[in-house]
Structure 1
Amino acid sequence: MTISEPLGQVERAVSDPPDPRLKRRGRRLRTAGMDDGLMGVALLAGPANVIMQLARPGVGYGVLESRVESGRVDLHPIKRARTTFTYLAVASAGSDEQKAAFRRAVNRAHAQVYSTDESPVSYNAFDPELQRWVGACLYKGGVDIYRIFVGEMDDEEAERHYREGMALGTTLQVPPEMWPADRAAFDRYWQESLDKVHIDDAVREYLYPIAVGRMPGVTLPGPVQRWLDSFGLLITAGFLPQRFRDEMRFSWDAAQQRRFDRLMAVLRTVNNLMPRFVRKFPFNVLLWDLDRRIRTGRPLV
C-alpha cells in the first residue's frame, strides 16, 4: 500500500538533510551520539527492529531454528530482551572491557547457531554479512528513534552519530571495512539489502506474537487481548518501513500514520519531562548489571 500523506519518519533515508520544519525537541544536547538514543521509550521500537532483522532469511531461520533455547524470544522474552538491550547499551556506551566480555559471551551462544541439511536456507551466526545486516537494522532504528523523540541532527552531529553506530556491527564479527563508509553509502547498502528481504509463512507466524507484544503463557480475555493486539500492532507497524509491513502483511494507511504520530507526540512530551536517570532506564541499569555479572561470574547472555 502506498502512503502519500503523511510520510513517516521511518521512511526517510539516514543521509537526509535536517528537515527545517522540525526543531530539536526537548533539552538541547551539546552533541548527538549513539547513547542519546538509549531511552526507555526506545523499547517501543524493539519488536519492529526484531522484524527488520529477521526479514533476512538467514537471520530469520537462524533464530527460528536456534538450539540456544535460553535465548529464544518466543520462549524467554524478558531474558532475550535483556540480552538485546544490553548489547545496545554496550555497543553504544560501553567500555572496551565491557565490549570484550560481551563479545565472548555472544560468541559462545552463536557457536551453536548454524544451518543443517534440513534447514530451508543456509546460515551461520558468525556470517559477517548477516551480522552487518543486524547492525544496520539497529543503527537505522536508532536514527528513527532519535528523529522521533529528540529531533533533527545537523550534518556534523549526524556524521558523529554514524561513526559511533559502526560499533553496532564491529562489536561482534563485522570488520570495520565492511561497514558502509558514510551515511550515503549506508543508504545505498540499505536499499540494495531490501532486495534480499523475505519473510515466509513460518517466520511470519513466529514474528506475529512479538509484533503485538504477547507474552508466552499469558492468556487474557478475548476483548482485552484483541485491544492489546491492536494497540501493539499500531506501535510496531508504525516503526516499520513499508517494505517490512508488506512482508508481514500489515495494512497501513494515512489514518493509522496520523494515530501513530499523535501517540508518539504524547510520549515524546512525557519523555522530555522525565529526569535523565529515569529517561535512560533501563539502559543505565543494564550496564551496571553487566559489570555485576562480570564481577560475580554470572552468565552475560
Structure 2
Amino acid sequence: MGDLVSTEPIVDVEVDVPTAYSAAAPDTEYLPPAARMTRGELDALPTRMNEMKGISALAGPANVIMQLAMPAVGYGVYESRVDSGNLFKHPIKRTRTTLSYLAVAAMGSPADRKAYRKAVGKAHAKVRSTADSPVKYNAFDPRLQLWVAACLYKGWEDMQRIYGDPADITEEAYQNGAVLGTTLQVPREMWPATRADFETYWNETVEGFEIDPVIREHLMSITRAEFMPRWFSVLVGWWFELLTIGFLPENFRDKMGLEFKPWQRVVFDTHNRVARAICNRLPKPMREFPFNLLLWDVRFRIRTKRPLV
C-alpha cells in the first residue's frame, strides 16, 4: 500500500482541483502539472452514462465494502471525524448523499457536478490521517479517489450484466465512466486509457492489498446491516447480508473470509432473475428511480441553497 497513499497533506480547504493540488508535496509525481485538465475541460466531459437502474442500489453495500477494502480508504472512513457523513450515525443521510453523488456524476449537468464536487470537497478536507493512524491517507489524494471511482464503475458493469444488457458495456461507456472520478478530484488523465488498461489497473490493485482485522470487522458490520435500526437487522439482516455477499466479487469474498453458501447462491440468482424481469418491464422513469428523484433533490437543494452533503 505504500505506493497508493499520500504521505503529505495535499490541501487544507475545499476547492477546485488545480489550485488545491499546487500545494501537493514534491513527490506527488502521479499528478504532473502539465497533465492536469482545467476544471472547465473536466466539466465538458460527457455528462451521462448509460441508464442508471435504481435496482442497482441493492448492490450499494457491496460496492462500499469494495471501496473500503483498500486500507487507506478504509481507515479514512473508519477514523473520519466528519460525523455528519458517518454511516453508523446517520445511515439515511449517508445513503442519500452517496446515491446522489452517483446520480449527479452519471446523469447530471456540468453545473450539478461542479456544485456537488465543491460540497464533497468541504467534507473531504477534514479527512486525513493522524500520527496514530495505521496507514497514511488524505481524502484529496487522487489515487485513492481513483480507486473509489473504479469501484463505482466496476459496480455499474456488474449491474449491466445482472440487470441490464451486457452489450452496453462498450469502450464508449467506459470512457464516459470517467465522470465517476472527475466529479471528485481525479484528473481525466488518471483514468486508465482503455477498458483493457482498466482491467490491468483493477487486477493489480486488488491483488496488492489485504484487509486487516479492524477494517474487516467494520466491513462485516456493514454486511450485517448493523448501521440500520435494530429492528431492521433482526428482521431482514439475513437478506441484506445474502445480497451483499452475492454482489461482492469472489476475490473480495475471499479477502473478507466470507462463504457464499449454495443455498444463498440459489436464492440470490432467483432474486436477480425475478428482479430483472420486473425491472425491464417498467417505464424508464420507474427504472431510474431513485436516481432521478435524487438528481431532482440535488437541483432543488442548489436552488434553495440547502446543504448537499
With the shorter chain as reference, the TM-score category is 0.7 to 0.9
The answer (yes or no) to whether the contact 1:115–1:123 under 8 Å persists in 2 is yes
Aligned-partner Cα distance in 1 for 2:95–2:229:
17
Shift of 1:255: 4.6
Matches within 5 A, 1:73-88: 73-88=87-102
Match of 1:228 in 2: 236
The answer (yes or no) to whether the contact 2:106–2:180 under 8 Å persists in 1 is yes
Match of 2:208 in 1: 196
Q: Which runs of 5+ in 2 are unaligned?
A: 1-47
| 1:203-230 alpha-carbon deviations (Å, 9 max, x no partner) | 122222321334444246xxx82x6232
Match of 1:105 in 2: 119
Picking from 216, 225, 247, the partner of 1:213 is 225
| 1:45-94 alpha-carbon deviations (Å, 9 max, x no partner) | 00000000000000000000011100011111111111111111111111
1:237 aligns to 2:245 (yes or no)? yes
Q: Number of residues paired by the alignment? A: 262
Picking from 273, 289, 296, the partner of 1:288 is 296
Aligned-partner Cα distance in 1 for 2:225–2:282:
25
Moved over 3 A (4+): 214-217, 253-256
Aligned-partner Cα distance in 1 for 2:68–2:60:
12
Which amino acid in the other structure matches residue 34 of structure 1?
M
Identity of aligned residues (%): 52
Picking from 10, 25, 34, the partner of 2:49 is 34
1:54 aligns to 2:68 (yes or no)? yes
1:259 aligns to 2:264 (yes or no)? no
TM-score, structure 1 as length reference: 0.83
Larger RCO of the pair (alpha carbons < 8 Å, separation 6+): 1
Which amino acid in the other structure matches residue 245 of structure 2?
A
1:270 aligns to 2:278 (yes or no)? yes
Which amino acid in the other structure matches residue 196 of structure 2?
A
Aligned-partner Cα distance in 1 for 2:190–2:210:
23
TM-score, structure 2 as length reference: 0.81
Aligned-partner Cα distance in 2 for 1:213–1:269:
27
Secondary structure in structure 2 of the residue aligned to 1:273: coil
Aligned-partner Cα distance in 1 for 2:134–2:227:
28
The answer (yes or no) to whether the contact 1:40–1:280 under 8 Å persists in 2 is yes
Identify if the C-alpha distance between structure 1 residues 254 and 34 changes in structure 2 by more than 3 Å, giving closer, same or farther.
farther
Shift of 1:98: 0.4
What RMSD over aligned residues (CA atoms) do the two structures have, in Å?
Answer: 1.7
The answer (yes or no) to whether the contact 2:119–2:308 under 8 Å persists in 1 is yes
Picking from 105, 113, 130, the partner of 2:144 is 130
The answer (yes or no) to whether the contact 1:35–1:89 under 8 Å persists in 2 is no
| 1:130-161 alpha-carbon deviations (Å, 9 max, x no partner) | 0000000000000000111012216xx61121
Picking from 177, 180, 184, the partner of 1:168 is 180
The answer (yes or no) to whether the contact 2:100–2:294 under 8 Å persists in 1 is yes
Identify if the C-alpha distance between structure 1 residues 194 and 102 changes in structure 2 by more than 3 Å, giving closer, same or farther.
same
The answer (yes or no) to whether the contact 2:61–2:222 under 8 Å persists in 1 is yes
Aligned-partner Cα distance in 1 for 2:140–2:77:
13
Match of 1:67 in 2: 81
Match of 2:308 in 1: 300
Aligned-partner Cα distance in 1 for 2:161–2:49:
12
Which amino acid in the other structure matches residue 100 of structure 2?
T
Q: Which runs of 5+ in 1 are unaligned?
A: 1-32
Match of 2:28 in 1: none
Aligned-partner Cα distance in 2 for 1:253–1:117:
41
